[in-house]
């Protein structure tokens, strides 16, 4: 356990279309809106926060230490994928059908793996996501 880090406070995700993001994360994934600032949306994700923002609100701008504002969807950073915890293996299967019915493409799974059950998908915003159930007692090595 780190003496400095007790959890993930938030993850900031840059999106081109905030309306599509709101539909995906709030309506489809049913995340709770903490605050909606129009170009910046804070969502409760378990005990963590997901910050959804337009490129204009991204870190790649002078007040955050950057030389110039970027209009690229990824700014000066890259995200491999985001992932959410599942509470059971059956929920992985239900989730895969739910997101597929709501505009996501299932890329792999649902499938069993050594540490649990998983499904990878591409969301309507073009990001890759994972929904994963860890077997009880599993600890990464």
**Distance from C-alpha of 77 to C-alpha of 62, rounded to nearest angstrom:** 16
Q: Is the pTM of this model over 0.85?
A: no
Output the average pLDDT for the chain: 86
Q: What is the pLDDT of residues 63-110, one digit of tens each?
A: 555 555 444 554 546 788 999 999 999 999 999 999 999 999 999 999
- Coarse DSSP helix, strand, coil percentages of the chain, rounded to the nearest 5 percent: 20, 35, 45
Residue 74: per-residue pLDDT:
47
Per-residue pLDDT, averaged over 12-38, amounts to 95
Q: How far apart are CA 58 and CA 6, in angstroms?
A: 25
28, 99 in Cβ contact below 8 A? yes
């Amino acid at each position: 356990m780190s003496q400095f880090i007790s959890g993930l406070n938030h993850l900031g995700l840059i999106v081109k279309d905030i309306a599509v993001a709101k539909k995906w994360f709030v309506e489809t994934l049913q995340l709770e809106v903490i605050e909606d600032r129009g170009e910046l949306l804070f969502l409760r994700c378990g005990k963590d926060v997901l910050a959804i923002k337009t490129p204009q609100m991204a870190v790649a701008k002078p007040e955050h230490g950057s030389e110039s504002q970027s209009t690229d969807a990824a700014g000066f950073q890259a995200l491999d994928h985001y992932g959410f915890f599942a509470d059971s293996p059956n929920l992985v299967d239900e989730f895969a059908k739910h997101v597929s019915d709501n505009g996501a493409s299932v890329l792999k799974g649902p499938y069993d793996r050594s540490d649990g059950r998983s499904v990878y998908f591409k969301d309507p915003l073009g990001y890759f996501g994972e929904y994963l159930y860890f077997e009880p007692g599993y600890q990464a090595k």
